[in-house]
């Protein structure tokens, strides 16, 4: 458990490779409790998804599913075994969702909502899948379940609830609340969305510090919510949006527009591309800044790598539909 805690501290500081090293040590310890190994595998998948090492994430998720199939004798057929199986399936489902394989993802999420172990990471990942499928009411239920089911004390007291890095309870709770705020905004419930996202922003700043990239992720969500509101209500919030996008991109350490988007080495790539794509719209309606807006739009289009939807689809607003982007603050990806 010490290695899990160390990896979490390292990941919060942005030392992802060092965090991965700690988690890999756990995988090499044959006598580790199955709950510890699942937690370390979950953490490894989360970190590799953050780093866009998606093929590695898929291999690790497969190993996690296999691990539960081979080592159920460690926990028997009781509640602990069911919890770990739910976590392994949801982890694999999340990886398939990132890859844009919705049918494959569904095969792993199917039936998890009826399992008592579908809380925390599992509930958040399943909620994001339902969100991506346009099943907003069910997604909302899962997000709320993820938020309410997290207990910091439980993570240390229960070997089956152990978690690490971006998959630990606090980050899952923040990410689930952020996803809920996005969903409310996409449904047109802007007052609720603003209240939820503002609360997430405050808690994210308290937990990570005001200059952490995760703050930039939440600011991007807030800016996109104001964009959606302005379009739906035929109002204008250009100054508010621009301020939010500028601050978010600064915290996300977005590279210069002179760097070609497809070749740029940038963390949170799709989130940066989404923010720049929306920011470009703000600039393009201003005659004296249209050229800058076009350059920003071009950069965003070449940088975008999401497999489920194009950047144009992610930015399109035509009322509630299945083609909505979901920013997962836990793994710093746009789904």
Domains defined for the chain, CATH in brackets: 2-168 (1.25.40.10), 188-319 (no CATH)
Mean pLDDT to the nearest integer, 243-266: 88
> CA-to-CA distance for 167 and 219, rounded, in angstroms?
21
Q: What is the pLDDT of residue 182?
A: 97
pLDDT of residue 297: 96
Residue matched to tokens 């780093």: 51
pLDDT at 152: 44
Q: Rg of the chain's alpha carbons, rounded to an integer?
A: 19
Is the predicted pLDDT of residue 228 greater than 70, yes or no?
Answer: yes
| Tokens encoding 331 | 């793994």
CB 19 within 8 A of CB 11: yes
| Predicted TM-score (pTM) of this structure | 0.92
Average pLDDT of 235-261?
91
Tell me: pLDDT of 305 over 90.
Answer: yes
Tokens found for residue 44? 């490894």
Distance CA(259)–CA(109), nearest Å, equals: 39
- Mean local confidence (pLDDT), 244-254: 96
Q: Average pLDDT in the 79-104 region?
A: 92
Residue 189 has pLDDT above 50, yes or no: yes
The two tokens of residue 253 are 């350490």
Given this model, what pLDDT does residue 73 score? 47
Average pLDDT, the chain: 90
Q: For the chain, give the percent of residues with pLDDT over 90.
A: 76
* Residue 256 DSSP SS3: coil
- Using an 8 Å Cβ cutoff, are 210 and 218 in contact? no
Task: Please tell me the distance from the alpha carbon of residue 223 to that of residue 237, in angstroms, as a whole number.
Answer: 10
The pLDDT value recorded for residue 322 is 54
Least confident of 149-153, 204-208, 305-309: 149-153
Q: Which residues contact 246 (CB under 8 A, 6 or more apart)?
A: 279
Q: Which residue has the higher pLDDT, 331 or 116?
A: 331
pLDDT for the residue numbered 64:
93
Largest CA distance in the chain: 68
Say what the pLDDT of residue 319 is. Answer: 59
């Amino acid at each position: 458990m010490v290695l899990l805690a160390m990896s979490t501290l390292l990941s919060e500081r942005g030392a992802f490779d060092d965090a991965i090293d700690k988690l890999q040590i756990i995988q090499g310890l044959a006598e580790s409790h199955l709950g510890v190994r699942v937690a370390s595998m979950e953490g490894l998948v989360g970190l590799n998804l953050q780093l866009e090492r998606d093929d590695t994430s898929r291999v690790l998720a497969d190993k996690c599913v296999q691990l539960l199939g081979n080592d159920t004798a460690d926990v028997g057929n009781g509640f602990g075994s069911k919890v770990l199986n739910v976590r392994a399936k949801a982890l694999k489902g999340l990886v398939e969702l990132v890859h844009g394989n919705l049918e494959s993802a569904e095969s792993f999420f199917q039936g998890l909502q009826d399992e008592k172990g579908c809380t925390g990471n599992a509930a958040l990942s399943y909620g994001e899948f339902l969100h991506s499928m346009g099943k907003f009411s069910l997604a909302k239920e899962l997000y709320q379940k993820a938020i309410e089911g997290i207990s910091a004390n439980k993570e240390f007291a229960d070997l089956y609830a152990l978690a690490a890095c971006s998959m630990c309870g606090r980050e899952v709770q923040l990410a689930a609340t952020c996803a809920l705020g996005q969903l409310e905004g996409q449904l047109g419930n802007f007052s609720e969305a603003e209240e939820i996202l503002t609360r997430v922003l405050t808690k994210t700043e308290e937990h990570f510090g005001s200059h952490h990239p995760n703050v930039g992720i939440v600011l991007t969500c807030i800016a996109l919510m104001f964009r959606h509101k302005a379009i739906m209500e035929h109002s204008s919030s250009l100054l508010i949006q621009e301020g939010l996008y500028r601050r978010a991109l600064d915290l996300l350490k977005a590279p210069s527009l002179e760097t070609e988007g497809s070749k740029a080495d940038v963390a949170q790539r799709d989130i940066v591309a989404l923010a720049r794509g929306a920011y470009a719209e703000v600039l393009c309606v201003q005659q004296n800044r249209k050229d800058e807006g076009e350059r920003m739009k071009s950069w965003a289009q070449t940088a975008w790598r999401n497999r489920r939807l194009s950047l144009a689809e992610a930015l399109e607003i035509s009322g509630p539909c299945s083609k909505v982007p979901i920013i997962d603050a836990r793994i710093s990806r746009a789904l």
